[in-house]
């Protein structure tokens, strides 16, 4: 639970004013003020696995369907099975899993994993939707909307029937039907403490070799060639805290020098404008600046495809630089694009590439 002590510190830091020291409960005299019970309540929204913290309320599957179709389906798909913006939420569980509490498909290492396959505690699903969804408007759902949309997802997974109403009264019974409720383990011993019986983590259970020990070792874990450049050239990526000394992943390991991003940029602007081969670099910059989370070159994700943007704004690099930085809504649909805080030069390279046709 969110502690009152932390809330007081947070409120004090945020207020940043020098204020009352004589008040009781003040941790740092002269700094901030004690958080009011209302402020603490606004932060203190976590729901525990034993449902402590769960607000009173209820919501039906059919009401949940309305919430889902209005506020969730555009990203997660009508049946919660879309993988357009995130891995599917629903799918991969069976009636048998509901009996055993252990999702059989998780044993298949090649099968994809959906949220409902993994989540062991219903409180986690409820809490996450309540605090984080819809993605573009977190905390906008009412308590009853959270109950109803959670009921709808559980219905899609066959955990509750069509005419079900989920509430604080019956949520524990539904927990007892979660397909992967017995799938949580503490055997990995990642959490210390008596409640886990002081189990030693499996990876430190080795015993030291005292005789006939191996003298040569084979490396069994490495980055395969196809994955090497999967996130764009690491050497050209920068963090806000400074340059990242990544490998030049555009070439095989240990072949030639790492090129400097700064030196490349003017060349890139010239070449992308001319549709040169360095459109690869513009695309790498869309990876680096996380545009690729919402945009792909030739298909719509959350935002329009870069090809469609290029078609709409030929030669209009200046307009595009402005829109990339400011974001906006209403040109392509109702989903907003948040303002982007990328380097000017990155925005220019991307905009020139778009204005020149977004060549692959
Ligand atoms: C604009 C797109 C968008 C909308 C609308 C949206 N979501 Fe999401 N949702 C996401 C993304 C992206 C993630 C992954 C977020 C992350 O991991 O940071 C996510 C994650 C989730 C998860 C967690 C899955 C997991 O395994 O971690 C749940 C549950 C969920 N959404 C339910 C909902 C519900 C219910 C609604 C409607 C009330 C909704 N979402 C609306 C984009 C969206
Ligand atoms: C959270 C998702 C998201 C991210 C991240 C994102 N965009 Fe967008 N983008 C959108 C959406 C949604 C639209 C459509 C907005 C509209 O309809 O006005 C859009 C529109 C655009 C447009 C067209 C603007 C117009 O006026 O027609 C450009 C150009 C663009 N994005 C470039 C980028 C670049 C470059 C980045 C990375 C620096 C980026 N976007 C990051 C979601 C995103």
pLDDT of the residue at 196: 55
Q: Which residues contact 6 (CB under 8 A, 6 or more apart)?
A: none
Residues 217-257 pLDDT 10s: 777 777 778 888 888 887 777 655 555 566 778 877 754 34
pLDDT of the residue at 223: 75
For the cut 70, the answer to whether the pLDDT of residue 5 exceeds it is no
Tokens of 179: 């397909």
Nearest of 337, 336, 354, 335 to residue 346 by alpha carbon:
354
Q: Is 171 in the pocket of ligand 2 (CB under 6 A)?
A: no
Query: Of ligand 1's atoms, which has the minimum distance to the CA of residue 137?
Result: 5
- State how far the Cα of 129 lies from the Cα of 67, in Å rounded to an integer: 12
For the cut 50, the answer to whether the pLDDT of residue 195 exceeds it is yes
> Please, which pLDDT band fits residue 62 given cuts at 50, 70 and 90?
very high
Nearest of 211, 330, 341, 334 to residue 288 by alpha carbon:
341
Q: Is 322 in the pocket of ligand 2 (CB under 6 A)?
A: no
CB contact at 8 A, 60 and 160:
no
Ligand with an atom nearest the CA of residue 75: 1
CB contact at 8 A, 43 and 37:
no
- State how far the Cα of 27 lies from the Cα of 9, in Å rounded to an integer: 7
Residues 318-353 pLDDT 10s: 999 999 999 999 999 888 898 998 888 889 999 999
For the cut 60, the answer to whether the pLDDT of residue 99 exceeds it is yes
Nearest of 123, 169, 163, 116 to residue 146 by alpha carbon:
123
- State how far the Cα of 358 lies from the Cα of 280, in Å rounded to an integer: 10
Q: Is 128 in the pocket of ligand 1 (CB under 6 A)?
A: yes
Q: How many residues does the chain have?
A: 360
- State how far the Cα of 125 lies from the Cα of 51, in Å rounded to an integer: 12
Q: Is 294 in the pocket of ligand 2 (CB under 6 A)?
A: yes
Residues 67-85 pLDDT 10s: 999 999 999 999 999 888 8
Query: Of ligand 1's atoms, which has the minimum distance to the CA of residue 125?
Result: 29
pLDDT of the residue at 234: 77
Q: Is 291 in the pocket of ligand 2 (CB under 6 A)?
A: yes
């Amino acid at each position: 639970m969110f502690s009152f002590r932390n809330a007081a510190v947070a409120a004090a830091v945020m207020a940043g004013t020098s204020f009352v020291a004589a008040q009781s409960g003040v941790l740092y005299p002269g700094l901030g003020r004690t958080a009011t019970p209302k402020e603490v309540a606004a932060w203190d929204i976590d729901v525990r696995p034993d449902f402590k913290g769960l607000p009173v309320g209820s919501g039906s599957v059919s009401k949940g369907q309305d919430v889902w179709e209005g506020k969730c389906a555009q990203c997660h798909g009508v049946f919660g099975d879309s993988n357009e913006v995130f891995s599917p939420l629903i799918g991969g569980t069976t009636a048998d899993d509901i009996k055993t509490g252990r999702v059989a498909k998780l044993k298949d290492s090649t099968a994809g994993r959906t949220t409902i396959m993994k989540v062991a505690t219903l409180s986690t699903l409820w809490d996450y939707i309540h605090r984080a969804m819809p993605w573009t408007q977190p905390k906008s759902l009412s308590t009853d909307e959270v109950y109803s949309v959670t009921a709808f997802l559980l219905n899609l997974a066959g955990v509750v029937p069509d005419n079900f109403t989920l509430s604080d009264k019956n949520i524990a019974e539904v927990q007892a039907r979660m397909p992967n409720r017995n799938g949580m383990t503490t055997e990995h011993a990642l959490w210390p403490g008596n409640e886990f019986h002081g189990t030693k983590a499996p990876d430190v259970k080795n015993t030291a070799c005292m005789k006939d020990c191996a003298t040569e070792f084979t490396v069994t874990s490495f980055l395969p060639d196809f994955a090497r450049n999967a996130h764009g050239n690491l050497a050209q990526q920068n963090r806000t805290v400074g340059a990242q000394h990544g490998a030049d992943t555009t070439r095989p390991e240990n072949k030639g020098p790492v090129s400097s991003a700064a030196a490349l940029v003017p060349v890139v602007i010239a070449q992308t404008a001319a549709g040169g081969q360095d459109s690869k670099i513009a695309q790498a910059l869309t990876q680096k600046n996380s545009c690729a989370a919402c945009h792909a070159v030739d298909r719509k994700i959350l935002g329009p495809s870069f090809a469609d943007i290029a078609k709409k704004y030929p030669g209009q690099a200046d307009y595009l630089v402005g829109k990339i930085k400011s974001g906006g809504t209403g040109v392509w649909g109702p989903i907003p694009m948040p303002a982007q805080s990328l380097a000017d030069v990155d925005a220019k390279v991307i905009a020139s590439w778009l204005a020149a046709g977004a060549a692959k």
